[in-house]
Structure 1
Amino acid sequence: MKIVIIGGGEVGFHLAKLLSEDDHEITIIESKHESVSRAQNNLDVMVIEGNGASAQTLVEAGIKKADLLVAVSSIDEINIVSCMMAAKLFDGKKVARVRNYEYSANNAILTADQLGIDLMIHPEKEAADEIIRLIERSAANDVIEFSDGQIQLLGVKIDQNAPIVYKTLREVGKDYESLTFRTVAIDRKGRTIAPGSEDVFMPNDQVFVIAKAESVPEVLKLTGKTETRIENVMIFGGGRIGKLVAKELEKKSEMNIKIIEPDSEKSFKIAEQLRKTLVLNADATDMDFLANEGITDADVFLAVSNDQEKNIISTLLAKHLKVPKTIALVDKTDYLPIISTIGVDVTVSNKMATVNAILKFILKGEVVSVATLKGIETEAIEFIAQPNSKITKKTINKLKFPKDAIIGSVESDSSHEIIVPTGATQIHPYDRVVVFTLPKAIKEVNQFFA
């Protein structure tokens, strides 16, 4: 597929990297020379320095022969105009990242269709939804849902005294046969492991486990974690994400919510918009202020300001003051592999949420959802097995499925029963299958489901 990407920032760069690894023909249009140089030096793609909203630049990028335009620059208006221009130049699909609610609201004066946009992505909403899931699953530091929430992927760090420490996957499977779960990836000191039956669970491993929703509490116990009741939430940053999270949490009557916002004018506006949230005008990197405002009573500290470095610093302060769970908004992909090693429990990225939504759109048809696991080079893809596809021809142990990919779960189309498959499992047409794969195996995995 030939794809033109407008914007070579974090989103455009990461998206181009993933798509080029899957053998798509990628052209990036980027106006900043620094970002142009980064893409040219690190990616196997064509890069054009210019304005993505210019018809001349779009033509130079080969838009007339393209299959897809993805507009993910940092400016909404450039993304929208790029799609409008492209609609006059080619018949392919157009995707735009749009942050301003005025453009994406249900009552918007101009709809996405009228603007020539096939998919409009709101990254802050995607990130806020992820944060709510993380708060609801207090023991996990990554939560992704599949099969309409019936299957959950959990990222959890193994405690020193966890029951599974120093045991192989085979031993754990035998000891806990009654639990439906599978370990699909392990991050050990920055190295991603696609685990086999003889791999051993070690203290401080970040493990990614797929399980039925009802089995999650018991699975968490194996890692040394237990779910705790969340009553007090402190949020640093009253921007779009902070307000979206607070509004959702206000629906839970047992929650006590505080927002810390450094901008005094903004803090007054936020207080007017939220009904049950206490808004404080202060800096969350002030330890004395945090202590005086009862941070030691907080169950969750959430840092979602526009300043990523302050988000990291404030969550480290919160951790120092014994807050059980800290969540930081961090969009710089270079930071993600080291965040957990310095003490931050969980990171959320609205840019990665945008990438996942775009990947799902590009792969749609046989694909239900796509997610990139934070901090490791693994993709989670939920497929629908197509009639006559290779995946339906034989049992799993006879398929010669890529060694860098693992089938995590199967939901039967006929009975809707969800299982963690074995080698003897037969996948049938229209079954929903969750696969975990390293980027280099994505193309081969796709061929099994097409």
Structure 2
Amino acid sequence: MKIIIVGAGEIGKHLAYVLSHDKHDVVVIDKSGELLEHIKEHLDVMTIEGNGSNIDCLIKAGAKSSDILIAVSGNESTNVVSCQIASHLGVKNTICRLDSKDFFSEKENFLPETLKIKNIIIPLHEAVRKILNVLDNKIVTERILFTNPNAIMTAFEVVPSSPIAGARIRDLSNIEILSHIRFAAILRDRKHIIPNGDTIIVPGDRIYAAGNKDKVQDVVDWNSTDNCRIRKVLIAGASRIGATLAKELYKMKYEVRVIEKDPKKAADFLDEIKAGVMVINGDPTDKDTLAESGADTIDAFISVMDDDEDNILCGIMAKEVGAKKVIVTTSKAEYAGIIPAISIIDCGFSKSIIAVNTVLRVLNLVSESMRVDAILSRANAFILEFTVHPESHVCGKRISEIKFPLSAVLAMVFRKGEVLSASGGLILQSEDVVVTITERDKISKIEPLFCRRSIFGL
């Protein structure tokens, strides 16, 4: 497909990387020649220096013959106008990045469809949702949702007191609570491991458990200790994401404190939040200030400042002061590979990767048989959904009979709304949706298994 990306910032750059590697014809537009030069040095994409909300610039980028336009610049107005012009020029699918829902108004009947914008994404809301999804329990590090609302993949850390610590996976097969879920992947020492029966689970492992939401939650609860519940939260940074997060947590009855270095931002935030949230004017990167703010007594510390390095530094110091769970956000996708090496940071979320995952889910443009659910931020792995074609290689076969690449694992199967564990004896049926974890370079070997076979059986 021919795809135009407006905006060469962190989100646009990472989108260009993913889409160009999937063999799409990508054009990137941005006003910054420096950002475009960096992209050209690393990717085989076309770049145009200019304004993405200018019709001549879009025509030059080939909008009249393009399939999709994705506007992810840092300017809401530019994104909206780019999508509007692209629709006028004949682009069938547009996706527009916004900072909030406030740009449009249902009351005034001014909606995205008014301007012929097909899809809206709000990365800030997605980032907040990601953080909220791991705040109910100290051992949970990530939750991934799927097209089936009853399914989930939850990553949790194995603590020394866990009943599965030190166990061999084959020895856990008779435990009832584990019979309905699958340990789909393990992250150990920054390495993505596909577990088998001989794999021994060790404290510190991050296990990705896949299955029905309730069954997976039962397993998480079983591995949790009594002191794993989170009630008190300290947020570093009165940024837009910090403000949104604080409001949501307050609604959910958490005890919330916010620490902000800038006096004006702290005062403005206090006026906005009104009551119920304690706002502290101080430097979150100062250990003494953290201690005075009560970081040693809180259950979770969340650093959402605008500076990536400050967030990482702040997270490290908060853990040293005594915070029980530390979550940091970053803008640069590159930090997603660095944070796992900092073991005292429990969760790290890349806002750009979250945004890219959101775009990929919305577009679902890889193929008719496959959709991308997520790019794991802590491992070089993709989570994919494949639909079984009735004339495919795998239809009618037991999972144990199918030859998959060694680095790929079937996590679960969706069948008529039901979530099934991908056990070896399960026979795949037409229209089953199979969730798989694999590395990027193995995707091309897996997808043909689920597609219609050619006349030559290839």
| TM-score using structure 2 length | 0.87
Alpha-carbon distance in structure 1 between the residues aligned to 2:372 and 2:270: 36
User: Quick check: 24-33 or 394-403, which moved more?
Assistant: 394-403
Match of 1:397 in 2: 400
Per the TM alignment, residue 350 of structure 1 is displaced from its structure 2 partner at its CA by 2.6
Instruction: Kindly indicate whether residue 382 of structure 2 is the aligned counterpart of residue 379 of structure 1.
Output: yes
Contact 2:139–2:158 under 8 Å retained in 1: no
User: Quick check: 190-199 or 369-378, which moved more?
Assistant: 190-199
Instruction: Kindly indicate whether residue 273 of structure 2 is the aligned counterpart of residue 265 of structure 1.
Output: no
Alpha-carbon distance in structure 1 between the residues aligned to 2:71 and 2:445: 27
Per the TM alignment, residue 127 of structure 1 is displaced from its structure 2 partner at its CA by 0.7
Per the TM alignment, residue 363 of structure 1 is displaced from its structure 2 partner at its CA by 1.3
Alpha-carbon distance in structure 2 between the residues aligned to 1:441 and 1:51: 37
Match of 1:189 in 2: 189
C-alpha spacing 1:208/1:38, structure 2 compared with 1 (3 Å): farther
Q: Indicate the SS of the match to 1:285.
A: coil
User: Quick check: 325-334 or 346-355, which moved more?
Assistant: 346-355
Alpha-carbon distance in structure 1 between the residues aligned to 2:431 and 2:226: 36
Match of 2:314 in 1: 314
Match of 1:151 in 2: 151
C-alpha spacing 1:66/1:227, structure 2 compared with 1 (3 Å): farther
Alpha-carbon distance in structure 1 between the residues aligned to 2:257 and 2:14: 34
Per the TM alignment, residue 119 of structure 1 is displaced from its structure 2 partner at its CA by 0.6
Alpha-carbon distance in structure 1 between the residues aligned to 2:148 and 2:279: 34
Q: Indicate the SS of the match to 2:139.
A: coil
Contact 2:84–2:117 under 8 Å retained in 1: yes
Match of 1:436 in 2: 437
Per the TM alignment, residue 237 of structure 1 is displaced from its structure 2 partner at its CA by 1.7
CA RMSD of aligned residues (A): 2.9
Alpha-carbon distance in structure 2 between the residues aligned to 1:181 and 1:221: 14
What letter corresponds to residue 117 of structure 1 in structure 2?
Answer: I
Per the TM alignment, residue 105 of structure 1 is displaced from its structure 2 partner at its CA by 5.4
User: Quick check: 321-330 or 30-39, which moved more?
Assistant: 30-39
Q: Indicate the SS of the match to 2:296.
A: helix
Q: Indicate the SS of the match to 1:335.
A: helix
Q: Indicate the SS of the match to 1:380.
A: strand
List runs of 5+ in structure 2 lacking aligned partners.
452-458
Match of 1:60 in 2: 60
Q: Indicate the SS of the match to 2:38.
A: helix
Contact 1:153–1:211 under 8 Å retained in 2: yes
Match of 1:31 in 2: 31
List runs of 5+ in structure 1 lacking aligned partners.
none
Match of 1:96 in 2: 96
Per the TM alignment, residue 187 of structure 1 is displaced from its structure 2 partner at its CA by 3.0
What letter corresponds to residue 60 of structure 2 in structure 1?
Answer: E
What letter corresponds to residue 346 of structure 2 in structure 1?
Answer: D
Alpha-carbon distance in structure 2 between the residues aligned to 1:187 and 1:44: 31
Per the TM alignment, residue 422 of structure 1 is displaced from its structure 2 partner at its CA by 1.6
Per the TM alignment, residue 308 of structure 1 is displaced from its structure 2 partner at its CA by 1.8
Match of 1:351 in 2: 352
Q: Indicate the SS of the match to 1:296.
A: coil
What letter corresponds to residue 418 of structure 1 in structure 2?
Answer: V
Contact 2:370–2:447 under 8 Å retained in 1: no
Per the TM alignment, residue 312 of structure 1 is displaced from its structure 2 partner at its CA by 1.4
Alpha-carbon distance in structure 1 between the residues aligned to 2:107 and 2:278: 30
What letter corresponds to residue 414 of structure 2 in structure 1?
Answer: E
What letter corresponds to residue 285 of structure 1 in structure 2?
Answer: T
Per the TM alignment, residue 374 of structure 1 is displaced from its structure 2 partner at its CA by 1.2
What letter corresponds to residue 237 of structure 1 in structure 2?
Answer: G
Contact 2:181–2:209 under 8 Å retained in 1: yes
Which residue, out of 410, 413, 422, partners 1:410? 413
What letter corresponds to residue 132 of structure 1 in structure 2?
Answer: L
Instruction: Kindly indicate whether residue 425 of structure 2 is the aligned counterpart of residue 427 of structure 1.
Output: no
Q: Indicate the SS of the match to 2:48.
A: strand
Match of 1:244 in 2: 244
What letter corresponds to residue 204 of structure 1 in structure 2?
Answer: G
Per the TM alignment, residue 383 of structure 1 is displaced from its structure 2 partner at its CA by 5.0
Alpha-carbon distance in structure 2 between the residues aligned to 1:400 and 1:104: 50
What letter corresponds to residue 362 of structure 1 in structure 2?
Answer: L
Q: Indicate the SS of the match to 2:352.
A: helix
Match of 1:363 in 2: 364
Contact 1:369–1:383 under 8 Å retained in 2: no
Match of 1:14 in 2: 14
C-alpha spacing 1:227/1:397, structure 2 compared with 1 (3 Å): farther
Contact 2:166–2:202 under 8 Å retained in 1: yes
C-alpha spacing 1:449/1:248, structure 2 compared with 1 (3 Å): farther
Q: Indicate the SS of the match to 1:114.
A: helix
Per the TM alignment, residue 172 of structure 1 is displaced from its structure 2 partner at its CA by 4.0
Per the TM alignment, residue 14 of structure 1 is displaced from its structure 2 partner at its CA by 1.7
| TM-score using structure 1 length | 0.88
Match of 1:79 in 2: 79
Alpha-carbon distance in structure 2 between the residues aligned to 1:392 and 1:337: 37
Alpha-carbon distance in structure 2 between the residues aligned to 1:37 and 1:191: 32
Q: How does 1:204-219 map to 2 (within 5 A)?
A: 204-216=204-216, 219=219
Alpha-carbon distance in structure 1 between the residues aligned to 2:449 and 2:127: 31
Alpha-carbon distance in structure 2 between the residues aligned to 1:225 and 1:36: 50
C-alpha spacing 1:149/1:109, structure 2 compared with 1 (3 Å): closer
Alpha-carbon distance in structure 1 between the residues aligned to 2:179 and 2:396: 28
Per the TM alignment, residue 207 of structure 1 is displaced from its structure 2 partner at its CA by 3.1
Instruction: Kindly indicate whether residue 236 of structure 2 is the aligned counterpart of residue 233 of structure 1.
Output: no
Q: How does 1:261-340 map to 2 (within 5 A)?
A: 261-274=260-273, 275-340=275-340
Contact 2:190–2:341 under 8 Å retained in 1: no
What letter corresponds to residue 378 of structure 2 in structure 1?
Answer: G
CA deviation digits over 1:134-161, x for unaligned, max 9? 1023311111233655333222344456
Alpha-carbon distance in structure 2 between the residues aligned to 1:132 and 1:184: 23
Total equivalences in the alignment: 447
Match of 1:115 in 2: 115
C-alpha spacing 1:191/1:369, structure 2 compared with 1 (3 Å): closer
